[in-house]
Structure 1
């Protein structure tokens, strides 16, 4: 099946798959960005302590950890398309429930449920991009997918900027529920992955879906499709381990554990910072509206950040691109923690967002390429779940670091975690640039 997919010319079909999957990243980034802007007004309405605010910031990450593992396993067992189609339902229902939240416990519970839906989307969306994009464009488009994050973060800030003063934080979640309904409709256009069908031994169904894709691409390109090597598409009817066991066979065991550590370090550091940036600014004397505008201006630098990574990832490779942006994120985080005055905060904060989004583009492009098709969903799911564990702990640990050493210690600790992640990437993970997915082993 890989040869039939790899020889397809680039067309409207692949672009449409990319755009539909990108909406998952966009909506999820809007929600994750929202807590940066809404934590302060929610804390004010419910009179939350610093510990409760930290728990609220972590609630959706706990849900994402659960959703990522469950959805990754389901995507490998029942298919990418089904999980992708219906994960948005949980996201939308939880968003609507938040409109009617009445106390801290209800907000935290609904944020957890929303996180389950959000976490379910990431492994299956990453698998779809990896399995539909050709090898020579896979890294670039997976990196461009991360462009939805700064756009979503900026959209979250813009919506919060205008909506919070007039409608409060509840109006934000009402809008998310409407977006979920629209997403459910457009996801119907995404077919099942022929690579996944073939990996399950469903050769007749894989051939049927692949023939439909070939017809659509030929029509879009307006020319006959090139031939492919029949021998190379012979199905591996496997008795190979599946599910979580597939991640711990000798050729994948070290890779799996090291990747989990990378995700844990990066998300612990990242969300420990971003979940609290808005509140740290208001605690430093900025009013809510000014702090939202300040964060929004810094987030604009994420756009050139992910564009630069999308270019570099096909030039210097996945692991070197990821290590580069992670080290530069560490440097920017350290200097942001030492900044004095608005000018320095703006300069280092803008650099922080630039390198952050380059880092995200790299890791999401890299991760699904490191696992075989039979275990790609659970591989991405467990890696992102390890990250969600870090994201869950980060906002909780931040108040302790603040008490021990102030803002400077918070940012220095995050910088140290980023450096550790970069070292692991360089030492322990293989390069996958331009390799056909089925050829990546060890």
Structure 2
């Protein structure tokens, strides 16, 4: 019987691991189908092996990865990159819109809890990440991919017609619920169609998140500068629906944009279920049809056949849909000791960055203002620089993850976290607007080198059969910390320096966690 250590296999060269096992008289010989023949490249370069857990699925996954690599990059992948990027934009849009319009809407409704929209958006995204992530592993990626963005668009538009603060919060939370699953779905769907030599593009996908705030800003600038559409929030008694329509138009416009993106997802590509999800469900014929269809459409070679998959045997981990299947997928993330450690560290990383990222923007400007620093926090220049550096940071993390000289994604995250910590300490010396702008842009850039790499790393090292669940829980951990930061911002005393040291420790811990992560996905096929 295989030991736990024997199960914890990460293949740098799959053939060498299989060969060593055969020499020791192991049982893996029977799981290696004749379909592989003498092609040692067919079983090389896998991130880890599932041979002891489900030999048939492991062998079939290798064949499918070979077929995807054989097809290579096509216009299908280009379309998928853009359409999945729309999901990232929707997630960012909902968060930015609620923060942009909160002041104007609050002046009109005069709520007793001013941070209500922040709680509503993070709560919706928390539930959305868990729901859509879990459903993606149970009913498939296609349904969640097509429906979630449409749901977000409808309620974003409806939010503009809200009659009071509570109803606005409800619609914001539902719109966030729809958008909240897209960070899970988009990386999962995109990754499961990517050839191994293009998997670094999962990191670049996050750049769409940084582009999204340009749209609310484009709407808000002319509307909020015109007294016909925006009342004076310093005189809330004068704010009525008649003279404060601007924030509603922002919801209508951005909600309409999300609606167009959701329609494009259905009409431009007509996504079929991903091959790796179909494998886990035992639907080999649909896997072959899907990949052969892509190869034929773009005049590429694909040698995968149904007979090859059948020769691997029957997948024992295929499940029927049901309420208890979520727990099956949850336990699958801890099937081996090494996989369990990897999953736990990924979730811990998302928890840490989910707290550290908003704490910086919540506490430090208030901390500096309390000490007389003229920072100009929140100015258009700061926002513009931050958004520019957010996009630049995602591309930098993608480039560094792909570079052969700096090929380890884990250490890309280490560098991002540690350099951010250095700038973070330097920020405490800021006393002028120019210094604030410079250090804020630097921090935006470096923290998103870490963030962008983590976005790509997480789905790559999770097994495909449980990828939606694992990634969904990771994003949910991040959202929980968003709620915590909002609560802290409401009640904490920012006159002390404690938040600075807390954040500094968080960045150090993030770097340590990245070093301890057991898998390095660079140059290997995800499973």
Using the size of structure 2 for normalisation, the TM-score is: 0.74
Q: Does 1:258 align with 2:345?
A: yes
**Count of residue pairs the alignment pairs up:** 428
Change beyond 3 A, Cα 1:292–1:399: farther
Instruction: Tell me if the contact between 1:142 and 1:365 (Cα under 8 Å) persists in the aligned partners.
Output: yes
User: 1:101 and 1:292 mapped to 2: Cα distance?
Assistant: 28
Instruction: Tell me if the contact between 1:39 and 1:279 (Cα under 8 Å) persists in the aligned partners.
Output: no
State the 1:262 CA deviation: 0.7
Q: Give per-residue Cα distances to partners, 1:121-150, cap 9 Å, x unaligned.
A: 2211110111111111112x1111111122
Q: 2:478 aligns with which of 387, 390, 393?
A: 387
Alignment of 1:368-407 (within 5 A): 368-401=459-492, 403-405=493-495
Q: Does 1:214 align with 2:295?
A: yes
Moved more, 295-304 or 85-94: 295-304
Aligned residue in 1 for 2:276: 195
User: 2:423 and 2:105 mapped to 1: Cα distance?
Assistant: 29
Could you tell me which runs of 5 or more consecutive residues in structure 2 were left unpaired when the two chains were aligned: 1-63, 230-245, 320-327
Q: 2:515 aligns with which of 409, 418, 426?
A: 426
State the 1:102 CA deviation: 3.1
Q: Give per-residue Cα distances to partners, 1:239-260, cap 9 Å, x unaligned.
A: 3794212122234222222211
Over the aligned positions, Cα root-mean-square deviation in angstroms equals: 2.9
Q: 1:346 aligns with which of 416, 420, 437?
A: 437
State the 1:231 CA deviation: 5.7
State the 1:69 CA deviation: 1.0
State the 1:163 CA deviation: 3.2
User: 2:163 and 2:366 mapped to 1: Cα distance?
Assistant: 22
Q: Give per-residue Cα distances to partners, 1:155-193, cap 9 Å, x unaligned.
A: 333332233334422211111221232122211222221
State the 1:35 CA deviation: 3.5
Aligned residue in 2 for 1:148: 208
Q: Give per-residue Cα distances to partners, 1:43-88, cap 9 Å, x unaligned.
A: 4333356xx3334223211111111111111111111111010001
User: 2:495 and 2:383 mapped to 1: Cα distance?
Assistant: 23
State the 1:7 CA deviation: 1.4
Q: 1:162 aligns with which of 215, 222, 228?
A: 222
Aligned residue in 2 for 1:311: 399
Q: Which protein, 1 or 2, shows the higher relative CO under an 8 Å CA cutoff with sep ≥ 6?
A: 1
Aligned residue in 2 for 1:330: 421
Using the size of structure 1 for normalisation, the TM-score is: 0.88
Moved more, 20-29 or 291-300: 291-300
Instruction: Tell me if the contact between 1:369 and 1:437 (Cα under 8 Å) persists in the aligned partners.
Output: yes
State the 1:27 CA deviation: 2.4
More helix as a share of residues:
1
Alignment of 1:98-177 (within 5 A): 98-139=159-200, 141-166=201-226, 167=229, 168-177=246-255
Instruction: Tell me if the contact between 1:247 and 1:253 (Cα under 8 Å) persists in the aligned partners.
Output: yes
State the 1:353 CA deviation: 1.4
Instruction: Tell me if the contact between 1:161 and 1:289 (Cα under 8 Å) persists in the aligned partners.
Output: no
Pick the structure with greater CA Rg: 2
Change beyond 3 A, Cα 1:40–1:429: farther
Could you tell me which runs of 5 or more consecutive residues in structure 1 were left unpaired when the two chains were aligned: 219-223
Moved more, 125-134 or 291-300: 291-300
Aligned residue in 1 for 2:105: 42
Instruction: Tell me if the contact between 1:128 and 1:193 (Cα under 8 Å) persists in the aligned partners.
Output: yes
Instruction: Tell me if the contact between 1:282 and 1:288 (Cα under 8 Å) persists in the aligned partners.
Output: no
State the 1:288 CA deviation: 11
Q: 1:186 aligns with which of 256, 264, 268?
A: 264
Q: Does 1:246 align with 2:337?
A: no
Q: 2:315 aligns with which of 237, 241, 261?
A: 237
